[in-house]
Amino acid sequence: MNLMRALRWLRAQAFEVTGRNARARLRLDGSCSAVLMYHRVLPEPEARRLAVEPGMFVTPETFARHCAWLEEYFRVLPLHEVVERLGGGRPLPPGACAITFDDGWRDNHDHALPELRRRGLPATVFVVTDRIGTEGAFWPDEVCLRIASLEPSERRRLAAELGAPPYRNPLEAVLVHLKGQPEADRQKALERLEAGGTGPDLRERVLLDWDELERMASDGVDVESHGATHAMLTGLCADDLERELGSAREKLRERGHSRHGLLAYPFGSWDRRVAEATAGLGYRAGFTGVPGLASSSEEAMALPRLAVHDDVSRTRAEFLFRIPGSA
């Protein structure tokens, strides 16, 4: 256990021993809901092989424990019910909570769905429609895989070459830098990485296909939109923004999905213009990555969620510190 993890664990233990976690749960009094944001559910060796960022996955064992704690301490509702109750001014049950997954990873089907099915828990998966059934991952995952294969000195050299600030962690520096770049500049940097032969290519299928989505839907998982290509929406012009969001919802509706008109903004990237465009295209609610509880006082197109990953939620004390939040 490294120092940061040890400090987080001690803080969570103190939160539990003093009873503050029980008092924090009283905030879920029927006026708001915790919306959990997961990404991947992967065995640890597989996460290491794919160089998945620590903040992007939980192990199947951790996810199973989460589901048990959710049943014990919370009331898990379908996300659309949370949205409908908040929008209609209807109270939620005390301890209201919803489970969401971003991106549409195949491991959601392989490792999360069996536990959800076993316990009868509802969930929502936000998918990138143009990538359903395709090979490879998203560009941040490709960057992680390539940079992870380099020696530390090569990582620092590459980060400097790409114009990333001199952070202690070159991978984090490159990701932060590229996320802040205009789409065209980011694409040039990614092409440069690929042309340089840094690291292996990811050619296996790690994203859900339509058959897997159908199986998830038949077991109570709602399939909603995460955009068409996973583009950062704030960097798109009005026409591209309409295509990105409109085509995604249309493709899902053709397959009988997106029945509730929900959207999770890719990378959590949104602003007032994006929110207005989202509403104008018929979406009922948009979800960000901003931490907080979803309530009727929040704007429907900018509802907060609570990010959950293995590094911060492995134990019960850590999970209950995270959900519904310590503040």
pLDDT in tens, 6-37: 787 788 888 888 888 888 899 999 999 999 99
**Is this structure's pTM higher than 0.85?**
yes
Mean pLDDT for 108-121 is 98
More confident residue, 246 or 153: 246
Q: What count of other Cβ atoms lies within 10 Å of the Cβ of residue 222?
A: 20
Mean pLDDT for 175-201 is 78
* Tokens linked to 163: 């114009």
Which residue, 323, 299, 109, is CA-closest to 208? Answer: 109
Residues 6+ apart with CB under 8 A from 149: 51, 198, 199, 200
Please state, in angstroms and rounded to a whole number, the distance separating the CA atoms of residues 292 and 230: 23
Domains and CATH numbers, the chain: 3-132+222-322 (3.20.20.370), 139-195 (no CATH)
Buried b (16+ CB within 10 A) or exposed e, 240-252: ebeebbbbbbebb
Model confidence pLDDT, tens digit, residues 119-145: 999 999 999 999 999 998 999 998 888
Question: How wide is the angle at C-alpha 194 spanned by C-alphas 187 and 225, nearest 5°?
Answer: 50
Structure confidence at residue 192 as a pLDDT band (50, 70, 90): confident
CA–CA distances in Å: residue 322 to residues 15, 31, 119, 149, 229: 10, 19, 22, 32, 30
Please state, in angstroms and rounded to a whole number, the distance separating the CA atoms of residues 24 and 20: 6
**pLDDT above 90 (res 301):** yes
In the predicted model, what is the mean pLDDT of the chain?
92
- pLDDT at residue 39, rounded to an integer: 98
Helix (H, G, I), strand (E, B) or coil at 167: coil
Write down how long the chain is. 327
Model confidence pLDDT, tens digit, residues 203-247: 789 999 999 999 999 999 999 999 999 999 999 999 999 999 999
Please state, in angstroms and rounded to a whole number, the distance separating the CA atoms of residues 278 and 258: 14
Please state, in angstroms and rounded to a whole number, the distance separating the CA atoms of residues 175 and 162: 11
β partners of residue 285: 262
Spatial contact of 136 and 67, defined as CB atoms under 8 Å apart: no
More confident residue, 50 or 101: 101
For tokens 């309530």, what's the residue? Answer: 295
Model confidence pLDDT, tens digit, residues 239-266: 999 999 999 999 999 999 999 999 999 9
- pLDDT at residue 326, rounded to an integer: 61
